Structure formats: structure tokens, C-alpha cells
Amino acid sequence: MRATVLHAPRDIRLDDVATPELRLGTDAIVRVVASCICGSDLWPYRGLNAQRDPFRIGHEFVGVVEQVGSDVSTIAPGDFVIAPFTFSDNTCLLCERGVHTSCVNGGIWGNPDQQGHDVDGGQGEIVRVPWADGTLVATPSQPSQEMVAQLLTLSDVFPTGHHAAVSAGVTPGSTVAVVGDGAVGLSAVLAAKRLGAGRIVAMSRHADRQAIARRFGAEEIVAERGTDGAAAVRDIFDGVGADFVLECVGTGDSMKQAMLSARPGGRIGYVGVPHDVELSVPQMFSRNIGLAGGVAPVRSYIEDLLPDVLDGTVTPGDVFDLAVPLDQVADGYRAMDERTAIKTMLTL
């Protein structure tokens, strides 16, 4: 079968690799129907992470189950399934508390599982899924082609935006500012709206992204960045700032912008993968700013978000503005790297 392999920075190829097989009774074999490229995939693509090359990349996919191991009871061949961006048993102490990303038996696509068996990346034709009962969420029926893109966002980007809103504690009628206009930031706007936020400001300089932010529920757009952007947010919200700020970038500048956009007593939910972020705890102390968030435990949110996606209440799949066949995966990466695409879907 074919799968995406990152050989070196900006050298990404679709290679022939071993077709996965069941290894453990708790496994499933899933044929991928659609996958996508994450903003976080761009860090190794650009050579900005310590690189162990070549490696199998991709962690967001939906597909159809082909085979299950003897211990799998809730997932069956033929099911259409959503795979969260980490695998987890959904039964351990930490999964029970909703922190599936820290599952004691869990792991990351493209890396060996805890038994030492290789696990496929998500940007390929077939994936061996460990802990199939715990990891996968099956839809009640086979989705339409249009719905596939919507469901694919439940693999990472929409629940990650939701995690920012939940971590901040967004309440009905509250004011919210979103830092970051990537797919996660746009998803955070949608998630805040879904949770009942009264007034949402999206921070974006790009017309296409501003349009999606407005469609997702942002009432106002702030194009300025940094201290100017934060000052504009404070102006909009009575000169004091937003009740809740959703930080969806992960840089030192974006966190500073988030801190200065929050009102005294406000809370920041952060989901941007941090790179060189430092916090001013004295500033947080004097202004009573709270901070929560981290890597999104997507699996804990999928069942909550799925009904609203299936009935069209929310359309998180609007973040995909480019779809390419898997064999053009290198073009998909280039488009996201050059920011000509917000988010690329890979079709199979």
C-alpha cells in the first residue's frame, strides 16, 4: 500500500510501504477514505522539529473498517469510523477523566505502540488502529461524500478548537477573542459560538479567513496584531478586554497578544502547539488571568460534537479550501506551507 513519508525537510513523498496486518486482538484495520494535513505537520515539514527521518506522517483520518481483532466488540467491519489524532483505550484512569491524550496505553500515529508494533501514519491508504474499541468512533450510517469532509474535522481540528473554548470556560452570552486564523482558530470561533458566546472577535488579516470566521459566528474582525491588536480587542469590549481568549497559534507573540486581549479576571484557553512561549506570571497575578488548555483530548469530545455535525447545525468542514488526491500530497503540503490553502484534505 502507499503512505506519505517525510524523508527530509520539504521532501515528502507517497511511498510503497508494508500493508498493515492485525497484530493484537484489540486492533482494527481501517481503509482510509479521507485524511488531511495539520498545521502541526508543517513543523517537521519545515525542518523546525528534531527530525528522525524518514518517518510516516499524518494523524487525522476517517475510513471504513476492514478487519477487527478477536477482542474488538463495539467496532465491526464495514463501519465508517472517525480516528482521533492519538489512539487510546478509553478505559484507563486518565481516559475516564477525559485526558485521552495521556492514556496509559495510548500512542501517536506513525510511532510504535507500547507493545512495540509499528503503527501507520494517517496520510496513507490503510492504517492498523490499536485499541480499536477505545480509539474509533463509528457513525450511525455511511456518510455522504460531502459529510465526509465535515466528519474528518472531528479527527482533530474542530475538537481542538472546542478544547480551547472549553478550557477557557466559555459561557453563554460571554465575550470571546480568538487569536489565530488558521483552521484551529476558525474552529475555535465555531466552537465558542456553539457554546453560546455572545460576541466573538476573530483576529485575522486575510480576507478569505475573515469570511469563514464571520460565517462561523465572529461578529467583528481585528486585523492588527500584537499590542495594537490587543488594544483593538480591548476597545471593542468596553476598554477592558474579552472575558475569554482562545489562543490558537502557539508562539510567544500570540500568547502575549492573548494575555493583553483578556480582561482582568478573564481566562485564556490555549491549544496552539507552543514554540518559545514564555508566560509573565506576575502579570497574570496582578490582572487575575487564568490559563488552561494543552494538547486536545479529542477522543473525549467526538461523541458530544458528532450529532451537531451530522445534522448540519455546524459545518466545521468549511475550513477545507483545498482537496487533492493522496498521490498529490506534496502539492497539498506546499499549498499549506505557502499559506495558499487554509487546510488541505487528501482524498482516496
Contact positions vs Zn ion (CB under 5 A): 88-89, 92, 95, 103
- Nearest approach, Cβ of residue 97 and Zn ion (Å): 9
What is the spatial distance between Cα 66 and Cα 22, in angstroms, rounded to a whole number? 11
- Nearest approach, Cβ of residue 253 and Zn ion (Å): 35
Burial 31-42 (b: 16+ CB within 10 A, else e): ebbbbbbbbbbb
Q: Which is nearer to Zn ion, 95 or 341 (by Cβ)? A: 95
The residue ranges of DSSP E strands in 233-287, in sequence order, are 242-247, 262-270
Q: Which is nearer to Zn ion, 95 or 342 (by Cβ)? A: 95
- Nearest approach, Cβ of residue 133 and Zn ion (Å): 11
Q: For residues 98 and 82, is the Cβ–Cβ distance under 8 A?
A: no
Q: Which is nearer to Zn ion, 95 or 191 (by Cβ)? A: 95
- Nearest approach, Cβ of residue 94 and Zn ion (Å): 5
Q: Which is nearer to Zn ion, 94 or 231 (by Cβ)? A: 94
Burial 219-235 (b: 16+ CB within 10 A, else e): bbbbeebeeebbbbbbe
How distant, in Å, are the alpha carbons of 3, 152, 213, 339, 340 from that of 334? 17, 21, 24, 8, 9
Residues ≥6 apart with Cβ < 8 Å to 303: 137
- Nearest approach, Cβ of residue 55 and Zn ion (Å): 24
Amino acid occupying residue 247: E
Q: Which is nearer to Zn ion, 89 or 125 (by Cβ)? A: 89
